[in-house]
Amino acid sequence: MSSPGFTALPDQPLANSFALPARACCLYQVDDVDALPEALRQAGSTALMLGGGSNLLFVTEQIDSAVQVLDKRIEMSENHGERISITASAGVIWHAFVMHCLAAGAYGLENLALIPGTVGAAPIQNIGAYGVEVMDLIEQVQVHDRHSGQTRWWSHAECGFSYRDSAFKADPQRYAVLRVKFRLWRQPRLQLAYAGLDTELARAGIRTPTPQDVAAAVIRIRQRKLPDPQRIGNAGSFFKNPIVPQSKADALRAQYPNLPVFPAGQSDFGKLSAAWLIDQCGWKGKRQGDAGVSAEHALVLVNHGAARGSELLALAREIAASVATRFGVAIEPEPRLIGAHW
């Protein structure tokens, strides 16, 4: 069944990077993002908003309906002195958008290269990597409120951004992202302080890096550290780095001098390395049936072939329990759980 701007397809598999056997009784594919509110209305109040499926763990294997935006338009806006505005539709592939901006001479996103997913998912998750969070480069987000039926542009403040979180994530069934407006730099302002990035650039013999050099270095690091979802099912980093009171971070650091502690944006809090905590509990490379932990990176849960979402979730809960028992620290998942609660 087709309507202006979208098509409804019965009994469709749902793409997800964990390679889990999820299906929707009806999948609404939206080619014009302005038709998204009507597609959501027809799909029903429980319809799942699906991006690239890279940040979802399907614990249930069958859902009634899902809506996916395929609109990939990118629009250059006015220059504002040192800044330049670029607006992208929700369906634009994130990595392609980063590379498009670099080619257009719009800088700031280079540290976020090769993150899977779409532009529409970026503000919901407040994606970040290598010392950069996307919230610092977002000017506005066009949002459809499924409760009120209104569509409007939200200011940066209204988005309620925090570490790997946003106002959208607090109620994912209510808010749908149509477009994101980014405010980037016309001249490079490189962020090179994150551990490993400067080493990678030095290894390549680059002393005065360009934004393109930084993006290439990030791509190499990610390809080396994180398993390719095309080869083995995974959603990248499964757990958030926990943020704890600085007193707790200091006490743990005194007991475990090698524990990495990062600034958390607040003077009285510190951010711990979830990968280090999990690794110390002996989980790297472990597997339970086809649900496992990557041998390359302790933060990454993998599907070795025939794991179910419920098995991956059970493994994640065991990992979190062991970290809490040993270190007294709670860790939480980054992916959204479909059909279960953490």
CATH class of 74-185: alpha beta
In the CATH hierarchy, which fold is given to the domain comprising 233-338? 3.90.78
Residue 1 has a pLDDT of: 65
Same fold, 74-185 and 233-338: no
Active-site residue identified among 164, 174, 220, 253: 164
Strand partners, 180: 88, 141
30: number of CA atoms within 13 Å, CB side?
30
Q: Could you say which residues of the chain have pLDDT below 70?
A: 1-2, 78-80
Residue 263 has a pLDDT of: 87
Active-site residue identified among 89, 237, 273, 294: 237
DSSP-derived pairing of the beta strands 233-237 and 300-303: antiparallel
Q: Domain extents for the chain? A: 2-69, 74-185, 233-338
Residue 206 has a pLDDT of: 95
Whole-number Å distance between alpha carbons of 61 and 68: 17
Active-site residue identified among 17, 222, 334, 336: 334
- CATH architecture of the domain with residue range 2-69: 2-Layer Sandwich (3.30)
Q: What is the pTM of this model?
A: 0.89
Residue 77 has a pLDDT of: 77
CB 303 within 8 A of CB 291: yes
Residue 225 has a pLDDT of: 87
Residue 193 has a pLDDT of: 86
Tens of pLDDT, residues 185-210: 999 999 998 878 999 999 999 999 99
Catalytic residue status for 164: yes
Catalytic residue status for 237: yes
Catalytic residue status for 54: no
Write 268-272 long-range contacts (CB < 8 A, 24+): 269/243, 269/244, 269/245, 270/243, 270/244, 270/245, 270/246, 271/163, 271/241, 271/242, 271/243, 271/244, 272/241, 272/242, 272/243, 272/244, 272/329
